[in-house]
């Protein structure tokens, strides 16, 4: 066979292999996003049900339950199931970044959970997907059930989530301090629990007594807390994985689309009112996600 034919055949085979690899990667990332969406929306709706409709009014304690589940399940997955190899912390700098991520993560989740006590899921997600100034303006003039404290907590949670995405992107991708997703969660979850436990006992003084009382009145409460905590582990793990395989910016864009999906489901389940401004905002969000995806595809 002439050399130019061999070269052409080799080039064609290489191109085919790259195409197959790209398709597998795209399917893998799509599966991660689906897992992240379903887990995240499940946690959001269960949080709303527990904190607003069920009478379990302890957002800090609820976040501590989530982080406890993340610590236990991460340890079990790494040490016993050996899904990924165990990684040691390499430096003080790396530990400080993990600790900072834990505290910021606590702030974002607690702020989001507190806001769910006062705001509808649709408005909670709208704040997370838009700029603070226009959200505040539209909310003040047109959002049913607007609550200032809930709104401030939601804005704080949104800012913390953005910072968290960048920080976790560094810890998952930096050559010198790279950790895989499960090990990152294994280290940050206990730190988060240590921060949340005293905060819950101080700021929610009757949390243990009232939680036990609710558990005695309704045995299903423990099952709800367990399912909620396992979903939180799944949401956090898939969040890290999506960040690792895409980027912090892509995570934020996908998160906005997730918010629009969560809004539709919450309206159907909780029947909370939504305004014309809100519908316009969700439509713009979805259009923005489509435009971002198309721009990324063209310039790849």
Question: Rounded to whole angstroms, how far apart are CA atoms 202 and 205?
Answer: 5
* pTM (2 d.p.): 0.70
pLDDT (tens digit, 9 = 90+) per residue, 38-92? 998 899 889 988 988 788 889 999 999 999 999 999 999 999 988 889 999 988 8
pLDDT of 135 above 60: no
Q: Given phi > 0 = left and psi -120 to 50 = alpha, else beta, which region is 82?
A: left
Residue 106: both structure tokens together: 């606590």
Residue 218 lies in a domain: yes
Name the more confident of 119 and 49: 49
pLDDT digits (tens, 9 = 90+) for 187-220: 989 999 999 999 999 999 899 999 999 999 988 8
> Does the residue 75 lie in any domain?
yes
Give the residue among 274, 256, 254, 241 at the shortest CA–CA distance from 29. 241
- 193 in any annotated domain: no
Is position 234 within any domain? yes
Q: Which has the closest alpha carbon to 148: 114, 104, 99?
A: 114
Q: Which domain holds residue 231?
A: 32-86+204-244
Is-contact 281 128, C-beta < 8 A?
A: no
Instruction: Say if 63 falls within a structural domain.
Output: yes
Q: Is residue 68 part of a domain?
A: yes
Residue 259 falls within a domain, yes or no? no
CA 106 vs. chain centroid, Å, equals 12
- The residue with greater pLDDT, 155 or 110, is 110
Interacting residues of 271 by C-beta distance below 8 A, sequence separation 6+: none
Average pLDDT of the residues of the chain: 76
The number of domains in the chain is 1
The per-residue pLDDT for range 222-250, each reduced to its tens digit, is 999 999 999 999 988 887 788 778 776 67
In a domain, 127, yes or no: no
């Amino acid at each position: 066979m002439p050399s130019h034919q061999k070269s052409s055949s080799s080039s064609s085979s290489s191109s085919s292999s790259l195409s197959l690899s790209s398709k597998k990667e795209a399917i893998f990332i799509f599966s991660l996003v689906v897992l992240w969406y379903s887990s995240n929306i499940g946690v959001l709706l269960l949080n709303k049900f527990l904190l607003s409709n069920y009478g379990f009014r302890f957002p800090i304690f609820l976040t501590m339950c989530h982080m406890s589940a993340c610590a236990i399940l991460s340890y079990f997955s790494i040490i016993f199931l050996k899904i990924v190899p165990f990684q040691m912390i390499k430096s003080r700098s790396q530990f400080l970044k993990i600790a900072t991520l834990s505290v910021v993560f606590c702030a974002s989740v607690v702020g989001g959970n507190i806001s769910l006590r006062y705001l509808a899921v649709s408005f909670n997600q709208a704040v997370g997907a838009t700029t603070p100034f226009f959200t505040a303006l539209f909310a003040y003039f047109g959002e049913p059930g607007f609550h200032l404290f809930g709104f401030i907590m939601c804005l704080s949670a949104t800012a913390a989530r953005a910072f968290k995405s960048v920080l976790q992107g560094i810890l998952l991708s930096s050559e010198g301090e790279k950790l895989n997703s499960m090990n990152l969660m294994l280290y940050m979850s206990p730190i988060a629990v240590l921060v949340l436990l005293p905060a819950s006992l101080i700021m929610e003084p009757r949390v243990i007594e009232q939680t036990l009382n609710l558990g005695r009145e309704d045995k299903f409460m423990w099952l709800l807390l367990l399912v909620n905590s396992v979903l939180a582990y799944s949401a956090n793990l898939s969040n890290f994985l999506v960040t690792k395989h895409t980027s912090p910016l892509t995570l934020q864009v996908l998160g906005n689309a997730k918010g629009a999906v969560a809004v539709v489901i919450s309206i159907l389940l909780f029947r909370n009112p939504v305004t014309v401004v809100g519908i316009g905002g969700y439509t713009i969000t979805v259009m923005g996600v489509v435009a971002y995806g198309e721009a990324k595809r063209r310039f790849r």
